[in-house]
Structure 1
Amino acid sequence: MHHDATVFVVDDDQAMRTSLQWLIESTGMSVQTFESADAFLANHYPGRAGCLLLDVRMPGMSGLELQSYLAREGYRLPVILITGHGDVSMAVKAMKAGAFDFIEKPFHDEDLLDSIRNALDYDERHRASQATRAQIAMRLAELTPREHEVMAMVTDGKSNKEIAAALGVSAKTVEAHRARVMEKMRAGSLAELVRMALIAAPESTL
């Protein structure tokens, strides 16, 4: 599990970076450490699997500022914020900004590891969801405008007769369109086609 994932640690305290690296690697997880937000940004690229373990208070760009920057730039790594100076308002601000978790020093090793595992699980699910959406989008792009219309009505629960009446065509024509939709979407059943339509919907959270 998480073989391709990396835990990215950003902390200006060298002793803390070393300690965290040892702790995380002791569980078999891959780790990369950075002494500043700038060092992380200089060596990281979007799309890498994993999570970000981020100290809140650092010289230069703070942890919260790095978190905000990554969100604006579309980076989707789950962020776990760590601080020795935590307070409720900072925690609320971090969570509202999209932090996956917020942990205060001193912390129990197992609590931190649990948070990391949960973040990696989340990242894995999110990536699988993105891959599924991309695959469905490619299939949808193969449909003609009329096939899109038929698919929308089919997945809305309308019968062939209702679709034929709405489009001003014969039920036999609708059947032909429907068959091509099922084939192009690689759907083995109506339920599967409906599921694809739900996943493709903009508001879908999958």
Structure 2
Amino acid sequence: MKPTPLPLNLYVVDDDEAVRRSLGLLLLSRGHAVQAFASGEAFLAGADVQRPGCAILDLRLGGMSGLQVFEALRGQGSPLVVLFLSGHGDIPMAVEAVQHGAFGWLEKPCNDVRLLATIAQALDKSASIAAQLQARQAAQALWARLTPREMQVARLVAEGKPNKRIALDLAPLELRTVETHRAHVFAKLDLSNSHELERFLRENGI
């Protein structure tokens, strides 16, 4: 049974009320649920920045700039995909932001077709991030089912150590007990061998 996909949030952050309204109406007309914020500070305080989604940020905001908001998101490890809106003179800043991990940028005023296409691409990227996040959470939940001793054994198995060596490293621990722990680890994590276990730990940040 596949897990239910995480819902994606869509945010518009712009200090120009007309831009917020027009963008909001355009996105709503295409079936997107969107939240709008007039400042970076309000966005960081009111948005769920730990859930995947897309944030459309104006580069030039009153108070915190779009770049400062972006840096704050990076500092918090947010999975939000960031798309910048910029004026012509802001293009160098927008390019720099993309080099530092932003999804992309669009110059104001932007054609609706291009805007919607770019947002769709950003949401696809966000859906991929959401799937990866969900898979990691599921893997970490499986890992949490192991006993502390099974976790110790699992890490040593992932390093490619044989059972006899593990028994010595974790002494006093009998060889048969190591074999039992090893079998439990593979069964609980639904893995078949040490190579799969090493990849499981590495890919899921365990």
TM-score range, shorter chain: 0.7 to 0.9
List per-residue Cα deviations over 1:85-116 (Å, max 9, x = no partner): 34453123212443121111232323222222
Give the CA deviation at 1:157. 5.0
Contact kept? 2:55, 2:82, Cα under 8 Å: yes
Q: Give 1:78-117 correspondences, 5 Å limit.
A: 78-117=81-120
Pairwise mapping of residues 12-91 of structure 1 onto structure 2 (< 5 A)?
12-91=15-94
1:182 is displaced (CA, Å) by: 1.5
Aligned CA distance change for structure 1 residues 131 and 170 (closer, same or farther; 3 Å): same
> Does 13-22 or 135-144 show the bigger shift?
135-144
- Helix, strand or coil for the counterpart of 1:30? coil
- 2:184 corresponding residue in structure 1: 180
Contact 1:6/1:29 (<8 A) preserved: no
Per-residue CA deviations over 1:47-68 (Å, capped at 9, x if unaligned) read 3442111111122222112222
Question: 1:200 aligned to 194, 197, 204, which one?
Answer: 204
Q: CA RMSD in A?
A: 3.0
What do residues 111-169 of structure 1 show as CA deviations (whole Å, max 9, x unaligned)? 222222222222222233223223323333443455335433544556xxx33245347
Which is worse superposed, 60-69 or 167-176? 167-176
> Contact 1:56–1:82 at 8 Å: present in 2 too?
yes
Structure 1 unaligned regions, length at least 5: none
Rounded to whole Å, the distance in 1 between the matches of 2:52 and 2:144 is: 27
| Gap regions ≥5 residues in structure 2 | none
Q: Is the 8 A contact 2:9 2:54 kept in 1?
A: yes
The answer for the alignment partner of 1:167 in structure 2 is: 167
Q: Percent identity?
A: 41
Cα distance in 1 for residues equivalent to 2:42 and 2:150: 50
Separation in 1, partners of 2:105, 2:196: 38
- Aligned match of 2:143 in 123, 140, 143? 140
Alignment: residue pair count: 198
TM score, norm. by length of structure 1: 0.77
Residue 130 of structure 1, aligned match among 128, 133, 137: 133
Cα pair 1:5 1:30 within 8 Å, conserved? no
TM-score if structure 2 supplies the norm length?
0.77
| Distance in 1 between residues matched to 2:32 and 2:41, nearest whole Å | 24
Write the distance in 1 (CA, Å) between the matches of 2:200 and 2:51: 26
